[in-house]
Amino acid sequence: MVTPHAASHSDTLAVLRRQHIELPSWAFGNSGTRFKVFGQPGVPRDPWEKLADAAQVHRHTGAAPTVALHIPWDRVDDYSALADHARDLGIGIGTINANVFQDDDYRLGSVTNSDPRVRRKAIDHLLECVDVMDATGSRDLKLWFADGTNYPGQDDLRSRQDRLAEALREVYGRLAPHQRLQLEYKLFEPAFYATDVPDWGTAYAHCLELGERAVVCVDTGHHAAHTNIEFIVAFLLRAGRLGAFDFNSRFYADDDLMVGAADPFQLFRIMYEVVRGGAMAADTQVAFMLDQCHNIEPKIAGQIRSVMNVQEATAKALLVDPDALARAQEAGDVLGANAVLMDAYNTDVRPLLADLREEQGLHPDPMAAHAASGYAERVAQERRGGAQAGWGA
Ligand code: RM4
Ligand code: MN
């Protein structure tokens, strides 16, 4: 049984002080929609420059010390050198994301493709990603598959599950004892009829088959509208299978907008279940990551804002009084219990977070500090020529 957290002020501060949010390297590259990618001045041209931008986010928030890589977007000759570069910048390399969705061979799927040659190629890429993890010291391999079908009858749904299970088994078997496999799900897109890992239940079932170090990644943008994501979080934490978050927010589909922008109340409800489930403990096994694209807004500032949004939701979740809530729940006091949550949600935690930053030697307002640093202007001058990083690179 998980003991409800103690909501003392010093405990709240201790949790916030050690809260870590992982940044996606791809957030710093150019991105867009299928209609247009708008390039921005100063966008990194390679993984080394992406890490420099991530370090700028950490410099001003103090809360984003690791960066997730996406292979092959972040392919380099020497991953240990890239890890050293990160260390020199005061950050580290986190999760390794595999990419089996951008090769012509994957038109009809990657690990679920009916062609064994394509399946072999996809699995080999996943194994290559584990080699990268060995070189960077990463704990987590994150798998998201674009696999699925567009038309009924296009392929056999059940055989595709068999192929998926077989591929996962091979990759899981290649992991070192300290490494984990994160299986991410997504309702639809790019497949529009059936997706092979469409929901948390499918991901969870495959993880159960694999073993303890197979865990589910909850990308907050990957659900049908109105899905109760906090329920999924509560369930997976109880089962010990919540591996990571890919935070972002959505208005319509997989919008990849800044987390907490579309629905800060939903983010609060999610973070409340995280706190309730014991996953803000010092030894938490949950990786809190952003998975976002900044199509029209400046990317570094967009990441800073997102980190702050997660911090604010967390601080509010920590303010929920567990004793008052338990009392109201046990008494069947519907309105009283709801009021306990709403009291916390309606508290302005910005002053508390500003104080905490000052105590850590940071500027109380990371957005202002970044703007005043002149970093964006400097890299826009320096990074001339070359090809800017983007989804294809
Ligand atoms: C996918 C999924 C993955 C992310 C890619 C870029 O939709 O969310 O986590 O790596 O996009
Ligand atoms: Mn994701």
Per-residue pLDDT tens over the stretch 269-291: 999 999 999 999 999 999 999 99
- pLDDT of 97 strictly over 80: yes
Q: What's the mean pLDDT in 82-96?
A: 98
Tokens of 37: 């990618």
With a 6 A CB cut-off, is 74 part of the ligand 1 pocket?
no
Kindly report, residue by residue over 216-266, the tens digit of the pLDDT. 999 999 999 999 999 999 999 999 999 999 999 999 999 999 999 999 999
Cα 227 from Cα 219, distance rounded (Å): 12
For ligand 1, whether the C-beta of 230 sits within 6 Å is no
Q: Over pLDDT 90: what percentage of the chain? A: 97
pLDDT at 219: 99
Task: Determine whether the shortest distance from the Cβ of 95 to ligand 1 is under 6 A.
Answer: no
Whether 266 is in the pocket of ligand 1, judged by its Cβ within 6 Å, is no
According to the model, what pLDDT value does residue 118 have? 99
Q: How far apart are CA 61 and CA 64, in angstroms?
A: 7
Is residue 144 lining ligand 1, measured as CB closer than 6 Å? yes
Q: Which helix (H) or strand (E) holds 102?
A: none
For ligand 1, mutation pick of 31, 96, 182, 184 (most atoms within 8 Å of CB): 184
Atom 3 of ligand 1, nearest CA residue = 144
Name the band, by pLDDT with cuts 50, 70 and 90, for residue 303: very high
pLDDT in tens, 105-115: 999 999 999 99
What's the pLDDT score for residue 393? 47
Q: What is the pLDDT of residues 344-359, one digit of tens each?
A: 999 999 999 999 999 9
pLDDT of residue 160 exceeding 90: yes
Locate the ligand 1 atom nearest the alpha carbon of residue 70 and give its number: 10
Name the residue with tokens 């948390």.
200
| Ligand 2 (single-atom ion) residues, CB below 5 Å | 219, 246, 291
Choosing from 30, 291, 294, 295 the residue with most ligand 1 atoms within 8 A of its CB, the one to mutate for a pocket test is 291
Q: Which alpha helices (DSSP H) does the chain contain, by range? A: 9-18, 47-61, 79-88, 116-136, 157-174, 200-210, 229-238, 264-276, 299-319, 322-330, 334-345, 350-359, 366-373, 375-382
Å from CA of 268 to ligand 1 middle: 23
Question: What is the per-residue pLDDT for 391?
Answer: 76
**Binding site membership of 140 for ligand 1 (Cβ less than 6 Å):** no
Rounded Cα distance between 95 and 335, Å, is: 42
Residue 25 in contact with ligand 1 by CB distance below 6 A: no
219 Cβ below 6 A of ligand 1: yes
Q: Which pLDDT does position 392 carry in this prediction?
A: 62
**Ligand 1 pocket, residue 220 CB under 6 Å:** no
Task: Report domain 20-319's class.
Answer: alpha beta
The DSSP element (H or E) to which 195 belongs, if any, is: strand 194-195
Q: Mean pLDDT over all residues of the chain?
A: 97
pLDDT of residue 2: 43
Q: Would you place residue 6 in the very low, low, confident or very high pLDDT band (cuts 50, 70, 90)? A: very low
